[in-house]
Amino acid sequence: MRTWGGRFSGDTDGRVADFTRSIEIDAALAADDIAGSIAHVRGLGRAGILTEDEVGTLTEGLVALARDAAAGRLDWDPALEDVHMNVEAALVKQVGPLAGRLHTGRSRNDQIATDLRLWTRRAIDDLDAALLAFERAIVDLAEREGTAVLPGTTHIQPAQPVLFAHHLLAYVEMAERDRDRLADARGRVDVSPLGSGALAGAGYPLDREETARDLGFDGVTANSLDAVSDRDFVVETLAAVALGMVHLSRLAEEVTWWSNPRFGFVRVADAFSTGSSMMPNKKNPDPAELVRGRAARVIGELTGVLSMLKGLPLAYQRDLQESVAPLFDAVAVFDASLRVMAGLLETLSVDASRMREAATEGYTTATAVADALVRRGIPFRTAHHIVGSLVAQAEGAGVGLDDIPDAMVGLALGASGDPAAADLAAEPEIGDELRAAASLDGALASCDVVGGTAPTRVAAALEAARARLDAAD
């Protein structure tokens, strides 16, 4: 059933037929193709091209095919090349020669563009739901382990202590941006190309706006050439998905490190771990590692589609077929990665005592001590130098900043050359004040700004995140 066979006198080479067919991939568009066909049939009826009886017969046949497709009862014939011709051939079996009128005023060019937009719109909605479930898993963990203290790092070196909940909420922020990007892309997905024909527009008085409304689109494309060749919406969706995978990969990297016994911050549940075929002692966070690896795969798919598009003239080119598989795969990978990471977080065990112990290493409260000096009138650069001296002395003596003796405090303040620091050294309570600032709890409490790690701020952020998630239900 070659719809274009009249122009040709010979058979297609088998190698070409195998090379060009896409049914193995685009069969996933069956429900969308049938939905688009039903809307098109109704449009042909409104335009007076089909009678009311013909519209009814074709619609009934297509609805029956939709049921068969949903139940997995449609047989896909590779010889028919793609989902569009398979559906049309199946409709012929349902209603007879009348099925030949289905394609009036329509090209496979605007048909595939419509199908792909319908699929992408639904996929974005599904990804949004998966992102919300992932966020709930993060917030649940943050609420459950809200008082745990994590050694915050920069340059992978000890920096400042932060609440574990604060660290986790950073990933909620990333996920919210992922949702925003997908929602933004969805707005540009949500226009109908149907009625654009092959490139110049349909040759019949079709009401494209009404057909778009039948399919739930917000509007119609404004230019037929652009409509059939535009895959910006594929790129935008891939870009949002690729960045979402990067965010998941960053979390996966941290979980992988944290679960190493040298850190011992968390323990991944057996259900989300695997062992070694050789080493009986091994417990590997393989799902997290695969998320990390598959992020690279999705980035490659985005790059591949961009590279394919860059050299295409208007209008439709067969190269565009190569945008479908990367989109399908990237969406499937992101969805599965979100779900497995949510499950991993839901079952994660946290060793708060080990985490807190690590947070005391590396003099992570030094900045809080410097801030305490600034609050007593010492210029920050001078305070920075004084505390640096205190860290060096404490390191040499093998004590923490929260255990520094008064003599060390007085020496560091007096040696700074700053008159205000010298005066401060004479105050008997300054040692206690700085030791309090150097405690983990003191350092955490000092970061009391919107977005900071102070317990009250984190509690408010958690409450806001929970309210946002509840509102999304």
**Among candidate residues 342, 340, 355, the one with its CA nearest the CA of residue 164:** 355
Indicate the DSSP class of residue 378.
-
Other C-beta atoms lying within 10 Å of the C-beta of residue 437: 24
Catalytic residue check, 155: yes
Number of H-type helices and E-type strands within the chain:
20, 6
Tokens 């860059």, located at residue: 310
Q: Contact at 8 Å (CB) between 8 and 90?
A: no
**Among candidate residues 156, 143, 149, the one with its CA nearest the CA of residue 440:** 149
* Tokens matching residue 229: 């060749």
Counting every residue written for the chain, the total comes to 473
Catalytic residue check, 84: no
- Residue-wise burial string across 234-270, b where 16 or more C-beta atoms lie within 10 A, e elsewhere: bbbbbbbbbbbbbbbbbbbebbbebbeeebebbbbee
User: From the candidates 196, 224, 247, 276, which is the catalytic residue?
Assistant: 276
Tell me the C-alpha distance between 112 and 228, whole Å: 8
* Tokens matching residue 375: 């609050």
Indicate the DSSP class of residue 39.
H
User: From the candidates 9, 155, 277, 307, which is the catalytic residue?
Assistant: 155
Q: Bridge-partner residues for 267, per DSSP? A: 349
- Residues labelled catalytic: 155, 276
